Amino acid sequence: MSRADAARPATALLRDWVARFGTAIAAGDASAVAALFGAESYWRDLVAFTWTLHTSEGREAIRAMVARQAPLVQPGTVAPEGEAKVAADGTVEGWITFDTAAMRGRGYVRLRDGLCWILLTAGRELKGFEEHEGPTRERGAPLPGQHGAPSWLERRQEEAGRLGRSEQPEVLIVGGGQGGLGLAARLKRLRVPTLVIDLHDRPGDNWRKRYKSLCLHDPVWYDHMPYLPFPAHWPVFTPKDKLGDWLEMYAKVMELDCWNRTRCERATYDETEGRWTVVVDRDGEAVTLHPRQLVLATGMAGMPQMPSFPGTDSFRGEQHHSSQHAGGVAYRGKRVVVVGSNNSAHDICADVWAHGAEVTMVQRSSTLVVRTDTMLRRGWGALYSEEAVASGIDTEKADLLAASIPYRVQPALQRPLWEEIAREDAAFYDRLRAAGFLLDFGEDGTGLSQKYLRRGSGYYIDVGTSELIAEGRIGLARGAVEAVVPEGVRLSDGTILPADTIIYATGYGSMDEWAELLISRDVAEKVGRCWGLGSGTTRDPGPWQGELRNMWKPTAQPGLWFHGGNLAQSRHYSRYLALQLKARAEGLATPVYASPQHGE
């Protein structure tokens, strides 16, 4: 039987389920909708029905969500898109399209025994506020009778001169890295007046000013920016200066309004007016802005965490946090101790070793390590690779397929994968263990993705440092740091590691620290923690959230949003944040389901 023949019954099954679901949801019949889901079932919605990022787990949760939201969002038609397929475990899968009164969307359905196991619904565009592209793109050239009008450059300069002066931005984005620029590009396409402010001299400098050997640890297919994918000749792992140049180019060709050399000094929110007052220092000039929406796009973390070891002030050499590491050239012939065993620790150890330093890594707890070749084949490869593109999975489909697995389901799917990786790369891991390196595959065996989502401290996507450790070229010391002494670092077993320089690769705090720094402690406490799922594991306390805390969705503080993550997360979730901001800019109803409470 051909694949097409095998797909026909699955397609018929999917079409039947979609027809019944469409009828029930359009009627607002919450019980009928819930009856189409299995006993173990999940509906993950990205803005389309809940106006937030929300996963309903189980029939009763699905019924309650539909009962509340259906009358408010007024679901319309639901239709299958293309043919269904049958997964290895017998799950029937396929794409759908749908609409509500305000929005058009796309989704993905997984059926087991004729009932829905997982449903993803994702908003794509607001009705009446579609992006101008393809057949609706702007003309550019003047129409007959318009000759002599201001040129594109003159109009662009005049527009940029107004924003933040005579015209206030609707949205102010603090942070001009990939997150802030990608979101600004989406808002530009949606015609939302948006201003990006950033401390650096020019876009991309947040990457350029890092140590010179830095490359992205994620592959190119995973890292595209909104609207402008990297060209086909782009290297698999992007060097940091190349990425810096790309971001500077991106800001220019996407016509983004960016104020560089600009620091946010303070921000307060007027509940009555529904506006912020934000005082910024623009290259020495104090400017007051009044946006309705404030987006903190300052990465995926807060302030650098400097440990307070006894005796730190007694050290005779240089010491700094990994965020201040400019490069290894200054450490030739010196003894360097790097405290930590995360990605930054590995990169810095390799960097200073390559420049002739004697370097020792202090591993205080076990670390997840995975080879880049393995991740390319098993981790990213199914969705983000040349093979995936050739099979018809473009970046949009890949993002949606990745998002279609609810966070609750991911651990069970991840454990077998990481068990297989451990077997396949056993020789690699044995060499690291023989060198004394402590390994793990996540606290509960769920691997890199869960450790990343939970903000776990120890993981490294190996781009070469592991071999240096296994060969003994980079020294390794294990255990807790008891104190810093004048000549170096003393471990809990009494071992003293002589050092001329100590570099603390000890991570960062939570993104909510930016809210405290820029706004107030009261607002930070009102918003609560950012990132993490509430899995109950170390550094990710419960209760279970179902979605990442406070990311890309309404927070307990009106008008305050958080946007961050790696390039892939910034790209994908910027769409949903932009839709929410555009809807508010146009005064559309945005009935948020399960609105955030104080401190959540």
- DSSP letter for each residue of 149-196: SPPHHHHHHHHHHHBTTTB--SEEEE--SHHHHHHHHHHHHTT--EEE
380: tokens are: 């990213």
Please check whether residue 253 is in contact with residue 228, taking contact to mean a CB–CB distance below 8 angstroms: yes
Range of the domain at 79: 3-126
CATH code for the domain of 177: 3.50.50.60
Point out the domain boundary residue: 504, 537, 566: 504
pLDDT digits (tens, 9 = 90+) for 161-195: 999 999 999 999 999 999 999 999 999 999 999 99
At 327, give phi and psi (nearest 5°): 155, 165
Please check whether residue 460 is in contact with residue 440, taking contact to mean a CB–CB distance below 8 angstroms: no
Q: What span, in angstroms and rounded, lies between the C-alpha atoms of 382 and 247?
A: 27
Q: What span, in angstroms and rounded, lies between the C-alpha atoms of 294 and 276?
A: 7
Query: What's the gap between Cα 126 and its chain centre?
Result: 23
Query: What is the pLDDT, as a whole number, of residue 2?
Result: 43
Q: Could you tell me the maximum CA-CA distance found in the chain, to the nearest angstrom?
A: 84
Is 345 domain-assigned? Answer: yes
pLDDT digits (tens, 9 = 90+) for 297-333: 988 777 889 999 999 999 999 999 998 998 888 999 9
pLDDT digits (tens, 9 = 90+) for 347-358: 999 999 999 999
Q: Note whether 289 and 333 are same-domain residues.
A: no
Is 594 domain-assigned? Answer: no
Determine the average pLDDT of the residues in 2-7. 51
Q: Note whether 270 and 372 are same-domain residues.
A: no
Q: What span, in angstroms and rounded, lies between the C-alpha atoms of 459 and 372?
A: 13
First and final C-alpha spacing in the chain: 53
Number of domains in the chain: 3
Determine the average pLDDT of the residues in 4-12. 73
224: tokens are: 């595209």
Query: What is the pLDDT, as a whole number, of residue 456?
Result: 55
Pseudo-torsion of CA 438, 441, 442, 446, nearest 10°? -170
Residue 457 has pLDDT above 70, yes or no: no
pLDDT digits (tens, 9 = 90+) for 491-511: 999 999 999 999 999 988 888
Pseudo-torsion of CA 201, 203, 209, 211, nearest 10°? 180
442: tokens are: 């996540």
More confident position, 455 or 303: 303
Q: Note whether 26 and 118 are same-domain residues.
A: yes
Describe the crossing of helices 178-189 and 567-585 by its angle, rounded to 10 degrees.
40
Alpha helices in 317-460, H assignment, sequence order = 343-354, 372-374, 386-390, 395-403, 410-424, 426-434, 447-453
Under DSSP, the state recorded for 380 is S
Q: What span, in angstroms and rounded, lies between the C-alpha atoms of 40 and 232?
A: 42
The angle at the Cα of 185, spanning 183 to 190, to the nearest 5 degrees, equals 95
Residue 527 has pLDDT above 90, yes or no: yes
Q: Note whether 365 and 466 are same-domain residues.
A: yes
Q: Report the residue count for the chain.
A: 600
- Amino acid at residue number 484: V
Is 261 domain-assigned? Answer: yes
At 508, give phi and psi (nearest 5°): -135, 160
CATH code for the domain of 13: 3.10.450.50
**Which H, E and C letters describe 451-494, residue by residue?**
HHHCCCCCEEEECCHHHHHHCCCCEEEECCEEEEECCEEEECCC
Q: What span, in angstroms and rounded, lies between the C-alpha atoms of 600 and 597?
A: 6
HSE-up (13 A, CA, CB side) for residue 574: 30
Sheet holding 262-270, edge to edge: 262-270, 275-282, 285-289
Contacts of 398 (CB under 8 A, 6+ apart): 221, 383, 384, 388
Query: What is the pLDDT, as a whole number, of residue 66?
Result: 98
Is 147 domain-assigned? Answer: no
Confidence at 600, pLDDT banded by 50, 70, 90 = low
Is 581 domain-assigned? Answer: yes
Residue 532 has pLDDT above 80, yes or no: yes
Determine the average pLDDT of the residues in 123-145. 90
400: tokens are: 């949606």
Is 592 domain-assigned? Answer: no
Is 135 domain-assigned? Answer: no
Is 143 domain-assigned? Answer: no
Q: Note whether 325 and 459 are same-domain residues.
A: yes
Query: What is the pLDDT, as a whole number, of residue 1?
Result: 36
Mean pLDDT of the chain: 93
Q: Note whether 560 and 448 are same-domain residues.
A: no
Q: What span, in angstroms and rounded, lies between the C-alpha atoms of 236 and 579?
A: 31
Predicted model pTM: 0.94
Q: Note whether 263 and 357 are same-domain residues.
A: no
432: tokens are: 């690291």
